[in-house]
A and B are shown apart, each in its own frame.
Chain A
Amino acid sequence: MNDDYSSKWGYRLKWLYTLLVVTTLMLPVFFVMYISFNENGFGARDYDFTFEWYGLIFSDLLMMEAITSTLNLSAITVIFVVPMGLITAKLYKITQYPLAVISLMLSPLFVPSDILGAALLVFFKNLNGAFTLFGEWVGVSWFDTWFDLGYFSAIVGLIIYTLPYVFVVILITMGRYRKEQTEAARSCGATAWQAFWHVEFPQIKTGVFSSCAFTLILCFNEYTRTSLLKGGFDTFTTVLVSQMLNEGMSEQSYAMSSLVSYIAIAIIGSVIIFTLVRSERLERIARAKAEPLMAS
């Protein structure tokens, strides 16, 4: 909080600094949006406004398939990783060895992504080889494709990548939760599940939903591990990177990138606005209820 004796210019400079940082970070995104409406594409001298590239997004089959794969990978990863993160965060809260839990959970963050991706690639290749050999030994071909590179291996890579983040995000919201409330619910007759669902979950759901959104964004961004582990299909990021390296991004890619940014900004913006409006509304209600008491 700004006190009466602090410099007003210091306060203004802090605001200016914050705005500058955010603008610098967001400027490239806005530039991509700007290009996506140019009929003449990236690098052209003339700028003619058009929606044409957005119309052509759905006709770019490679991009559409990549987006579909990315969405599938992200959704499946969320389904697995969020409950995993939640369970581990609950373990952290009750264990006598919290340091051990946090060290284990955060350890994937300390391994560079390309090394972890390569390690997983070697692991799956060997595992696949071992199962294929086992299949040959027992005379069946059933095991041959179990650990082929594909969706499964890519999802394992994404889970390993995103689990520490999910764990930390949920743990932060769980930090304010007091276990006495679970005990109070149990004392009212609730089973362990009912106590969790009725009392604990409503108080940590912000963290759970935030971790879902965070996982989706991380999965969308992820390149190194996914490109090593995906096998034969493409994702949005691998297509973008491949285009950039080989022929430069197509105009549809700019439109698609912008579209993804619009959706992300709209979702996150709505959540923030909803939260602020709700908090203001609750505060107004609380003030209205408190006024008669204050007056008496």
Chain B
Amino acid sequence: MSEKNEIAVEVKGLSKSYGPVQAVKSIDLQIGMGEYFALLGPSGGGKTTLLRLIGGFIRPTEGQVFLHNQEVSHLPPNARPTSMVFQSFALFPHMTVEQNVGYGLRLKKVASDEIKDKVANMLKTVGLDGYGERMPHELSGGQQQRVQLARSFVLETDILLLDEPLAALDANLRRDMCIELKRLQEKIGMTFIHVTHNQEEAMTVADNMAIIADGSLVEMGKSSDLYENPIRRFTADFIGENNIFDGQVSKIEDDVIHVDLGSSSIAVLSRGQKTSVGDKVSISVRSELARAIDTSTSSTEPLETLSGIHRESVYLGLTTSELITLDNGQEVLARQISDRYGGHTIANGTSINVGWRQQDGRLHIS
């Protein structure tokens, strides 16, 4: 069995309540060994609580946590094979970088020469060679975060928990650190569980991810699958830039589901999802797959189309977003590479169609 197929973390029916408030609602989850796993979701959705339950910083109200198939629900954080990286860096301000990184080894009573060697190697790994004598306040945000990583890596625990580790960094540094984190994870081979509310960050680093919202696990899978083929309406709404149409199933022809939107009807592939006529469903279309089509031109391929009025073009550099208001008042975005129209812009207020290929629409029954 390959390392990635072995289970590093498993939670079963995990719940956490604070009085009447249920922060985590009966979550079941498995994370493979050596995997980079992201917990993605809106703020206040329960992802940090789930991470802290795995780390042993809070006790579950119900359910169990297994690390390498051992139940650890009753164990405090220092007795679990995990280490944690915090959003606020959480370096010990009265210790030098070297002392911070070597702290866990000193607790393990490792010989001081060995500590020195390991700390020096680890500082080299995270690109902080020569910074050992500095105090945390003498480092930039990115450097402090690297010290935190070194402090966790040096312990050689199997599982690293990262709680919004890049949230305190500016956008450019965050991008660089994402790539750096992924590189380090592949080099060290630890299991990373990374909490973030930033989908771009999650997509950059994660092999697999889980969407957590309102204390529940919404959907889990490969990052690319969740982006391209979300099952749940919430996932489509949260990941990427999707146009979502709510309606009722009006007709079913083999694998094609016809959905009545009120003023018009569109068809979508069922992709194996079972539904019946009259069911309330949603269809999502990624904005980069939707096209703004001049009503005077005819398309060369069959498209699902809806008519509306062009409201605005928003130039974003690489892409331009066309904002279209449909006849029923719903706003739709069609995003194209900026030079698609060869300098020709669509005038605001023009009647226009928005269309997409049938296979680009995704059906959501929940």
User: A: which residues have CB within 8 A of B?
Assistant: 178, 180-181, 183-192, 194, 198-199, 202-203, 282, 286, 289-290
Cβ–Cβ contact A199 & B84, under 8 A? no
Within 8 Å of chain A (Cβ to Cβ): is B88? yes
Cβ–Cβ contact A188 & B93, under 8 A? no
Given contacts A188-B103, A198-B103, contact A183 B77 (CB under 8 A): yes
Distance A194 CA – B76 CA, assembled complex (angstroms): 14
Cβ–Cβ contact A184 & B90, under 8 A? yes
New A-B contacts (11) at CB < 8 Å, excluding given A189-B108, A192-B76, A198-B103? A181-B92, A183-B57, A184-B151, A186-B57, A186-B78, A188-B78, A188-B103, A188-B151, A189-B107, A202-B94, A203-B93
For B84, what are the chain A residues with a Cβ–Cβ distance below 8 Å? 183-184, 187
For B86, what are the chain A residues with a Cβ–Cβ distance below 8 Å? 180, 183-184
> 6 tightest CB-CB pairs across the interface, nearest first?
A188-B104, A180-B90, A184-B90, A187-B84, A186-B77, A189-B107
CB<8 Å pairs between A and B, sample of 5: A180-B88, A185-B103, A187-B78, A188-B155, A190-B103
Distance A192 CA – B78 CA, assembled complex (angstroms): 9
User: B: which residues have CB within 8 A of A?
Assistant: 55, 57, 76-78, 82-84, 86, 88, 90-94, 103-104, 107-108, 133-135, 137-138, 148, 151-152, 155, 161
Residue of A with least CB distance to B102: A188
For A190, what are the chain B residues with a Cβ–Cβ distance below 8 Å? 78, 103, 107
For A186, what are the chain B residues with a Cβ–Cβ distance below 8 Å? 57, 76-78
Residue of A with least CB distance to B84: A187
Q: For B107, give its contact among A178, A183, A188 (CB under 8 Å).
A: A188
Distance A201 CA – B77 CA, assembled complex (angstroms): 20
For A185, what are the chain B residues with a Cβ–Cβ distance below 8 Å? 92, 103
For B151, what are the chain A residues with a Cβ–Cβ distance below 8 Å? 184, 188
Residue of A with least CB distance to B56: A186
For A180, what are the chain B residues with a Cβ–Cβ distance below 8 Å? 86, 88, 90
Distance A192 CA – B151 CA, assembled complex (angstroms): 19
Q: Shortest distance in angstroms between A255's beta carbon and chain B's nearest beta carbon?
A: 42
Given contacts A183-B84, A187-B82, A188-B103, contact A290 B77 (CB under 8 A): no
Cβ–Cβ contact A187 & B88, under 8 A? no
Residue of B with least CB distance to A191: B78
Q: For B55, give its contact among A181, A187, A188, A189 (CB under 8 Å).
A: A187
Point out which of B76, B88, B92, B108 has the most chain A C-beta atoms below 10 A from its C-beta.
B92
Cβ–Cβ contact B104 & A183, under 8 A? no
Point out which of A189, A191, A202 has the most chain B C-beta atoms below 10 A from its C-beta.
A189
Cβ–Cβ contact B90 & A289, under 8 A? no
For B155, what are the chain A residues with a Cβ–Cβ distance below 8 Å? 188-189
Q: For A184, give its contact among B92, B107, B135 (CB under 8 Å).
A: B92
Residue of A with least CB distance to B76: A186
Distance A180 CA – B144 CA, assembled complex (angstroms): 14
Cβ–Cβ contact B137 & A203, under 8 A? no
Q: Shortest distance in angstroms between A243's beta carbon and chain B's nearest beta carbon?
A: 48
For B107, what are the chain A residues with a Cβ–Cβ distance below 8 Å? 188-190, 194
